[in-house]
Amino acid sequence: MSDPACGVSPAEKLSPEHLQLLRNAFTCPKAGLQTRKSGRNRGGSEEHGMRFKEFQEVLQSVIGPDVEDAWVERFFSEVDICCTGQMKWQQLCSYLLLEYTERERASIPRAALLDSQPQIRHCSHNKREPTVRVVAVSHPPPLRYISVSKGGQITVWNSSLHILKTVGLAGDPTEEVANTRRFRGWTTDAVYMGNVDKVAISTDCRDLHFVNVSTGNVFEDVHLFGFQSVPTALCYWHDVQCPERPPLLLLGDDKGGIHLMWFLKPSKGLFKNPTKKENGPQRIFFQDLGEHSNMVSFRYIPNIHQEPVNRLMFEPSTNVIMSSSESDNTSVVFMSVSLKQEPYIWKFKQGAKCFDYNAALQLMVTGGYDRVVRLWTRFVTARPVATLLGHRTAVLDVAVYQAVGQIFSYSRDAELRVWDISTHHCLKTVNLQFPCLQLGRIPEHGNFPFLLLGPPLPEQTQPHLVVGCKDYLAWLDLAERERGGGGWLTDERRELGPKILSFPALSCALYNPTLRQVVTGHAVSLVSLWDVETGKRRLQISNAHGEDELTCMALDSSHRRLITGACNGTIKVWSLLNGLNLHKLEPVTNSEVTAVTCLHDNQLLAVGWSQKIAQYDITGAKDLYVRADMSWKSNGVHKSDILAVAQCSSLGVVATASHDGEVIIWRLETQGPLLHLQRETEAGVALPVDSLLFLQHRAGNRKFRNRGVLVSSQAGCLCFWSITGQTHRYGQFYAPEQPGERVLSLSSNQPKNTILVSGDTTGRLQIWDISHYALDIQHEAVCGRPPLLQCWKAHKRALVSVEVLEVADRLFILTASADGAAGLWTNDGDHVGSFGQAMMWNISDPATYQRETQSNLREDTAERIESDEVGSSKVTSKAPDPTSCGQISQEECCSEASSASTAERDHHQPQQAMYLHEDFCQTVASCRQRRCLFDDIDHGDHC
């Protein structure tokens, strides 16, 4: 609602005094102001409504004459969600109350934890012992996890937390004679050493185990034993930018000291190779570490803490070691490696059981047995910035999630809390339901329950948090960036930036000329509104149809409401001004809605796999649920699923096209079929119609209305039909450059109908000159192509929607693709930009365009244009010319091309049929198009 581009929101601009004056104007209108009586309110007095002009005059008298007309118009439109052209006081109160409530809700951030249920996994090989630590191993790909149990059991998991392998730590070799050699002790910590592909594991046997994880065969490589104290906490750092710089391994011990080990030649190994081959891992006595001085450098800093070290971190930019303990006097210590500066020491009762530090925020978070989570700044040790209360048992682990500005804390009773850093509020509390929990008993935990993986992440990895409790692990999905209060408000903090381009496939897009906005619909049921003049997102509707795929969209006649259809048969009506769901339309069946169109009187028509036409009256509907009107005589007319619909008000007709290739013209007046159109099929193969387009200018012109006014797309062939004359087919040609492709979307400049824009399954966009095409019944017109004006590859994958729009007296083309991106182009092929990119554009300033025009495609276009100039009846070599004399029919050519294309895909991707279908699903991005492709496969005997 509060769009900065449209001025201050009404909630900010209207003071209580203004509201009182407005109330008086509605309840006691001034003389001279014409008002309409519209019933009685609850108090019994008559409630008056105001038209726009009246409301504008009242606002100017209340706020002042300087109030902008555009602001008043938008305010009036947002309140009048039913599009009655009249505003009532009760409507205004409801609108303001809703805005105040939503603004308050949006000001409170939402927890980074997504609403999906945690995945619980059992570490069956732990033998009921808790998991001490879980580490993520990203090299070599793919991502894996390694968990270490208290008893020394090492479990390797895949990225979905399914067990791949399990091994145990090596025990004392003196027991090998009795064949009872196994690890006898408790592990204390583990850390992943990324540059050498090893995991270091410390135990209470005063030793360190180095496990090689570079291959699928996980094995123990080196055993360093004989420390003077027990290592209790580990930390490892290596310089990613400078691999030759010696990495550092830090070990905190039970005496409060810290060991530092620099590995001088990590590319050659951590330690000197043994002189003789040993059976099992290389065993190195700690006192003999001096013999490896050319490979490792060692240093010990004693008595940093008065209690065992339980956490270790290293800050490379400042060369500072950070450690914590449960000591009251040395709870947390920050000290430099050189020891030349005085350390920073934080002191608080019962010390710190855990801590985390974020250098970018200069923030430290601590937790301990006193059940308090404390926030500290980097250089202030006297008092915390905030004290977060709420946990009922000891806090075992904390983590700062910088991407969303939140903190996770976990207590001994398996309670996870999410805190906002800026407000210090607890945003969410989750009681993790581990199967090991017993009523009245506190479960056993490992020393390090958390594994937080946030940005940057390996490819195709969602940010997540892994929490351990005894021998179970819980996986929780996280949001990638800061989220506002949800709902449908536009929030600058939630702007997705360039990553919007990596969204799931788009299923539809359209342009709203009244609001000058582009609406995009993703298959994952996400609707976004974009400002066409800048490319900025104005509003977003998440989960429009829940988990069901969004398939189609349309505007109502006022262009202030959006109608969306889904694959489960549901249809919803939304307000484009505030994102409210106004109506839910009664589904005809639970099968897919493939297309919707709204007539001039707000009578909505919906078609789909039901093979029927359903009508809904949304003119003045006040109820949330609107019943379907099945008065259309469509029962049994279509013999297959209806895939497309188009209307022509000047001719009073509606056209529908089905999966079997039949196009039916319906008369609006009688709601019955008027004409059946179908291309001749010599090969006997019925190919589905992908798109329909009425050329409205021709249909409204008495001179041209009997000519080719309807364009249909069938297997890449564009047919021009007349629906009033004696001869119906006025022309046809194959549009794509490659055989076996489809044209999924069509558009034209409707005020003139001089160009036709087509988008095919290769992502290529073509602009045709149809100013003189399909106006005469001639053999050349039927066989030849119209002149090709422009052609370029707009997207990497199929174009599911194209639309010609006029902004600032210039023609632009909107494209939406199965690759998840929606772009804006000039009619010359210059790329204005992609909706959601980081840099905004100014549509009136070409200097702000991206201008990513494909030079090689331009050359090809020039060659094709020259070829078309030689003779309009000639077709480029890449496209079939099925209707030329002496050649095969177009149906046969399309069928063979489809089979050849399918066979070519099979050759390059020799996979099972299931994977072949999945690949096609990604290519087309809607159930309707997937079904068409499946039929192509069937006809080509490649299913």
Query: Looking at residue 48, what is its pLDDT?
Result: 67
Query: Looking at residue 686, what is its pLDDT?
Result: 80
Count Cα atoms within 13 angstroms, Cβ side, for 697: 13
Whether the Cβ atoms of residue 823 and residue 794 lie closer than 8 Å to each other: yes
Query: Looking at residue 937, what is its pLDDT?
Result: 37
- Tell how far CA 413 is from the center of its chain: 34
Determine the length of the chain.
Answer: 943
Judged against a pLDDT cut of 60, whether residue 56 lies above it is answered with yes
Judged against a pLDDT cut of 90, whether residue 278 lies above it is answered with no
Give 551 or 7, the one with higher predicted confidence: 551
Judged against a pLDDT cut of 70, whether residue 468 lies above it is answered with yes
Query: Looking at residue 578, what is its pLDDT?
Result: 77
Cα-based angle 845, 846, 850 (whole degrees, multiple of 5)? 125
Distance CA 353, CA 347 (A): 13
Q: Per-residue pLDDT tens for 341-375? A: 899 999 999 999 999 999 988 999 999 999 999 99
Query: Looking at residue 887, what is its pLDDT?
Result: 34
Judged against a pLDDT cut of 80, whether residue 791 lies above it is answered with yes
Query: Looking at residue 336, what is its pLDDT?
Result: 93
Give mean pLDDT, residues 898-910: 36
pLDDT tier for residue 893 given thresholds of 50, 70 and 90: very low
DSSP per residue over 761-819, as a string?
A: TTSEEEEEE-TTTTSS--HHHHHSPPPEEEEEE--SS-EEEEEEEEETTEEEEEEEETT
pLDDT tier for residue 854 given thresholds of 50, 70 and 90: very low
pLDDT tier for residue 624 given thresholds of 50, 70 and 90: confident
Mean pLDDT score of the chain: 82
pLDDT tier for residue 648 given thresholds of 50, 70 and 90: very high
Query: Looking at residue 595, what is its pLDDT?
Result: 95
Highest mean pLDDT among 81-85, 376-380, 800-804: 800-804
Query: Looking at residue 683, what is its pLDDT?
Result: 67
Judged against a pLDDT cut of 80, whether residue 171 lies above it is answered with no
Bridge pairing between strands 581-585 and 625-626:
parallel
Assign 518 to helix, strand or coil.
strand
Give the range among 82-91, 224-233, 550-559 with minimum mean pLDDT.
Answer: 82-91
pLDDT tier for residue 609 given thresholds of 50, 70 and 90: very high
Judged against a pLDDT cut of 80, whether residue 491 lies above it is answered with no
Query: Looking at residue 704, what is its pLDDT?
Result: 87
Judged against a pLDDT cut of 60, whether residue 497 lies above it is answered with no
Give the range among 292-296, 443-447, 637-641, 932-936 with minimum mean pLDDT.
Answer: 932-936
**Closest among 187, 200, 202 to 153, alpha carbons compared:** 187
Give mean pLDDT, residues 20-36: 66
Judged against a pLDDT cut of 70, whether residue 890 lies above it is answered with no
Give mean pLDDT, residues 837-845: 88
Q: Per-residue pLDDT tens for 813-824? A: 999 999 899 999
Query: Looking at residue 344, what is its pLDDT?
Result: 95
Judged against a pLDDT cut of 80, whether residue 217 lies above it is answered with yes
pLDDT tier for residue 111 given thresholds of 50, 70 and 90: confident
Query: Looking at residue 837, what is its pLDDT?
Result: 85
Assign 529 to helix, strand or coil.
strand
Judged against a pLDDT cut of 60, whether residue 910 lies above it is answered with no
Query: Looking at residue 567, what is its pLDDT?
Result: 92
Q: Per-residue pLDDT tens for 222-271? A: 999 999 999 999 999 999 888 888 999 999 999 999 999 999 988 888 99
pLDDT tier for residue 82 given thresholds of 50, 70 and 90: low
Which runs of E-coded beta strand occur in 561-688? 561-566, 571-575, 581-585, 593-598, 603-608, 614-617, 625-626, 642-648, 653-658, 663-667, 672-677
Give the range among 20-29, 311-320, 496-505 with minimum mean pLDDT.
Answer: 496-505
Token pair belonging to 567? 């694959």
Query: Looking at residue 77, what is its pLDDT?
Result: 79
The percentage of residues in the chain with a pLDDT greater than 90, rounded to a whole number, is 49
Judged against a pLDDT cut of 70, whether residue 637 lies above it is answered with yes
Give mean pLDDT, residues 103-126: 81
Instruction: Write down the pTM of the prediction.
Output: 0.54
Tell me the sheet residues that pair with 259: 251, 300
Instruction: Give the helix/strand (H/E) hosting 731.
Output: strand 729-734
Instruction: Give the helix/strand (H/E) hosting 146.
Output: strand 144-149
Judged against a pLDDT cut of 90, whether residue 208 lies above it is answered with yes
Query: Looking at residue 783, what is its pLDDT?
Result: 56
